[in-house]
Chains A and B, each alone.
Chain A
């Protein structure tokens, strides 16, 4: 236990408290002392009474504020939860899109991997046909673009 000497409304008090709580006790005493001193010229008992009343009033106000803030924190929590679920959904969607893209790339690579043997060495006729088709489709595109 620790011994603390407090002075409230001009009167010294010897108080005991748990070790380590001395500073907090001194701070609390300073608050009470400050309230008590706002009523000069009255008896010490009245000073302490008014200090107690003012502190009770402040406590009540603080509680009311906390009660009012509660619904706001509820809606804030709901908004955060909604945002988090949307973020998760967006991430899942992105993940799925990336997997689809990777699968498509693999497929393309597989096709390209087979293309050289099919187009270069084994079947040059396909290459020629491909080139001719490219020419014809380009000509077709020009015709379609020039349609009235």
Chain B
């Protein structure tokens, strides 16, 4: 195989792998925002997922248990945000930022408390680390497939089921939902919990599937990129998935180009996915419309 072809192949697989955590978090963003809650806390929920996955894998030796713990703790932070944003009518942005800070600080503190080492955890068992192809493991493949199933499932849920239609109504006009005899606060709470679970899963992928440890700041703003993907994808599951893969591509590109363009500092290269997000969203200003009641406490 020529180096050109192998490089393209690497880029393709790396794009898939780098997209996975963003896809999960973006799907989480879609369900939460369609219900009317802006989930700025996605980043923190990913962090919680990544960290707790490592802790529980370390504890039990089973990365499957770690994965479930990641989902659970993401969902738990979702519950906190959901509860604050609905029944306590806390400003959603403030609550979300709070969750990000607590998760980041909590994980850093947990590293010292549990593993007695700051900065990064010891290595734990990786989720199905066997190579399926030279570029990709069995575990990564499984979570890519699961991610697609989640996108498919969320699309089906939002547009086909009665509950999905109610969630949509909730994000557009919660009073209409109240008038229909339903409880919009409860719908919002459940949606944000689901959102946290998806973000937690995305975080767990980062720590126990792509690598085998947690290090401080490893989510590196992917939760925020996911928020951009939600907007870029116009609040639809497949749109957000596509946007997440688009941003994932730039992250992969950045890895592939690393060290190949000598005149560009590596820090500038690392900024590539964020710049892509910035330009993508800037180009959309005024041309997309969020759910009408998105971010408005009820």
Check if A and B associate: no
